[in-house]
Chain A
Amino acid sequence: MPDEETLEEGTLTPLQPEIQDPLLREILEENDLQADPSRNPLEQPAPLPDPSDEVDCVVIGTGAGGAPLLARLAQAGLRVVALEAGPRRDPKTDYATDEKAQNFLFWNDERLSAGQNPVAFGKNNSGTGVGGSTLHYTAYTPRAHRSDLTLHTDFGQGVDWPFGIEELEPYYEEVEHFLGVSGPTPYPWDPTRRKGYPLAPLPLNGAAQLMERACGKLGIRTSPAANAALSARYYQEGIGWREACTNRGFCQAGCNRGAKASMDVTFLPLAESFGAEIRADAYVTEIERDATGRITGVVYEQHGRTVRQRCRHLFLCAGAVETPRLLLLNELALNSGQVGKHFMAHPGMQVWGTFPEDIRPYKGIPGGLISEDTHRPQDADFAGGYLLQSIGVMPVTFATQMVRQRKLWGQPLRDYMRNYNHIAGINILGDCMPHASNFMELSDEKDARGLPKPRLHFTAQENEQRMNRHAEKLMRQIWQEAGATDIWAFERYAHVIGTARMGRRADEAVVDPDGKAFDVPNLYICDNSVFPSALSVNPALTIMALSLRTADKFLATLR
């Protein structure tokens, strides 16, 4: 045995020799990190939330329904967590100007489309990722009309909304100014608005100019449309400067400049600046309740782990398929029998033509021009109405839609597509009535997680069919006047609406006029699923307005 002194001398050589050369030390440390990624501070998984930690609100979904209210709740000082099924990406570096490469923006889990007019999902109308479907919406943001909310009163068909347009107007104004909507002031079809658009309209592309010219000859009023893309640099508190649109025309496959007002560059950074936490890649599977039926928390899958987050209040904002799917899977808020019922989709018929002019349809905001003269047409044989818009289009989207309609193949297919730079389109966005035969259900077929795939039944009813006929005739007339040849129409349906309707009575609706579930004391729903009828305009702006209103109604209950 060595004596004590010898031992002390021996410890001068420690068990792990200290490397003196800094370069060698750095190299060895890097090697260590590669061998054991768990030691790398950049590779650490986010800390798991404490399962006993209860937050004020959990928001499921970060699209047009979830993001605005997330910001509002965070601004009110509440502790809020948003769970987003999809990833968080950086548009500036991760987005390609390539349609196929951008397929990650869409909710690509398979949905089964049934009925006489099966609705296309995926890129047609559903998104995933921090920002939800707004990552690929066209940014077309007309307001709903007063009369869109009173269809039953006016026509004896469909249903009325449980409140009037006055309830939405202040929120429309707020959202338009926060997002920086570019549009015409005064608005030709609603000239008495209190507030105009904050920015001038975006410039018109070829398709818009053709439609403007032809409508002028036919006596149809047109105007540059309202689009939530910036016609000039724009500043908002909590967000900073956003750059102006450069007419990339790529809105439907993701804006890489932040010029389009998707939620990831507007309401979500605002929410985060007030302390909201957004968890990406968090796929909710369960909603937990106590014996009294009160929601206590949610369970989600994230990076292969199962995580529980407790909450005092839940806001379900997952869109009109995933919202009712979660309710059905969890047997939640089902007393009215209305969950999944009254699924609606906007008639979105397109008419295309070939022109001698050089159009290059990939340039400019896609929905450049609007007409709302058809909101309540004089010669209509249907209830409600529609808007008309010009459309730009990217080549892959155009080719796939065209072959579905025209079934061209072989040399005629290649020959037709060579006209791409001379093709322009117009389409409608028409109201859709709720109908009992149109609904969403859980199928017997399972997805990759072992959960039932949703099945959606949609058949255009007499009213939608009459509207389509009226619109097709008019659009063909406009395109003939514009000088088009080889005109063809594509009957399609866009946007996913209904399935958890709002109403006054617990036996007729899932949520009350404030967006609160009738059956569950601490559940709010806010997305296009609560729409009682579809409206004659694109839904995004109204969803955002409703989202802020829902937050305000909820906050009022806390006072």
Chain B
Amino acid sequence: MEYPAGTVRALLQTDLVTPATRAALEARLAPQTDYAPQFFDADTYQLLRAVAARVFPQPERETPIELAPNVDKRLLEGRADGWRYDAMPPDREAYRLGLGGINQAAQAAFRQDFVELTTEQQDVIIGQLAAGEAPGENWQQVPQDKFFEEMLAELAESYYAHPLAQEEIGYVGMADVPGWTHIGLNELEPREPEEK
């Protein structure tokens, strides 16, 4: 149910998109493979990348959408989204403890750090985390279910804000300059391509 490759990139070049919208989306299209972490140390950053790669596996993409840079930048700048579970430590501490807890769970199950595991083994650990059943002493200090929920929501926000992920789910709402007149059930505008 996705749009053909190139749909959103092509739309961005048209007058159907406002300059402010184009600027926001094109900035996100620039590859971030070479991003050097500024908040996390190198090992923790690679751990976060590895976790993000299991939450959003992208085997079909030559260059996967990188989700870890946004987390690193946000924590470096100390930006918040308006609220935090009172049961959670501050965001920087929560990520440090939560990622550490993921390694503890990996050690408990496979006697190796998370990044050393096979993808199947990594999925076992993420599955434990999602079920709130991952072992590790760090979970005494950060509630596992809330950590997973917050991390999942942050990664999902980054992923689905990316133009290629929006293309993947058939979203072309950014091409709104003329407005929408065909808005009812099964009504499409010419610029809303049929799904694949």
Interface, chain A (partner B; CB < 8 A): 93-101, 103, 106-114, 118-124, 126, 203-206, 209-210, 246-250, 256, 357-360, 362-364, 394-396, 399-400, 402-404, 407, 409-411, 413-414, 417-422, 445, 448, 455
Contact = CB atoms under 8 A, between A and B. Distances in A.
Given A249-B173, A362-B171, A407-B149, A209 B184 contact: yes
A52 B145 CA distance: 55
Interface stretch (B35-43, B76-84, B100-108): B76-84
A403 B153 contact: yes
14 contacts: A96-B23, A100-B161, A119-B83, A120-B83, A121-B82, A122-B82, A395-B166, A404-B152, A404-B153, A407-B152, A409-B54, A410-B55, A410-B126, A421-B169
B2 A418 contact: yes
B85 A399 contact: no
Given A362-B171, A395-B166, A399-B160, A107 B82 contact: yes
Nearest to B145: A407
Interface residues of B, number: 58
A126 B20 contact: no
B20 A101 contact: yes
B179 A247 contact: yes
Contact of B83 (A97, A110, A400, A418): A110
Contacts of A122: 80-83
8 tightest Cβ-Cβ pairs between the two chains A and B: A122-B82, A246-B179, A362-B173, A114-B86, A101-B24, A121-B83, A96-B20, A110-B80
Quick one: which of B87, B152, B153, B185 has the most chain A CB within 10 A?
B185
Given A98-B25, A108-B81, A407-B152, A455 B86 contact: yes
A448 B186 CA distance: 49
A124 B83 CA distance: 10
A418 B152 contact: no
Contact of B183 (A111, A206, A448): A206
B183 A364 contact: yes
Nearest to A93: B20
A357 B83 contact: no
A123 B55 CA distance: 24
B5 interface: no
Interface of B: 1-2, 17-21, 23-25, 54-57, 78-87, 90, 123, 126, 130, 148-149, 152-153, 156-157, 159-161, 166, 168-171, 173-174, 176, 178-188, 192, 195
Contacts of A99: 161
Contacts of B166: 395
A418 B169 CA distance: 4
Given A97-B18, A110-B80, A421-B169, A203 B183 contact: yes
Quick one: which of B19, B23, B156, B183 has the most chain A CB within 10 A?
B183
A392 to B, nearest CB: 9
Contacts of A203: 183-184
Contacts of B86: 112-114, 118, 455
Contacts of A100: 24, 157, 161
Given A96-B18, A409-B55, A411-B57, A209 B185 contact: yes
A316 B35 CA distance: 45
A345 to B, nearest CB: 12
A203 B160 CA distance: 28
Nearest to A94: B20
Contacts of B19: 93
B41 to A, nearest CB: 24
A364 B20 contact: no
Contact of B174 (A98, A107, A421, A422): A98
A536 to B, nearest CB: 25
A110 B192 CA distance: 38
Contacts of B24: 96, 98, 100-101
B180 A364 contact: yes
A298 B22 CA distance: 41
Contact of A420 (B85, B149, B161, B170): B170
A421 B2 CA distance: 9
Contact of A396 (B157, B180, B187): B157
B157 A400 contact: yes
Nearest to A360: B192
B169 A395 contact: yes
Contacts of B183: 203-206, 247, 360, 363-364
Contact of A112 (B57, B79, B84): B84
B161 A98 contact: yes
A455 B80 CA distance: 15
A439 to B, nearest CB: 13
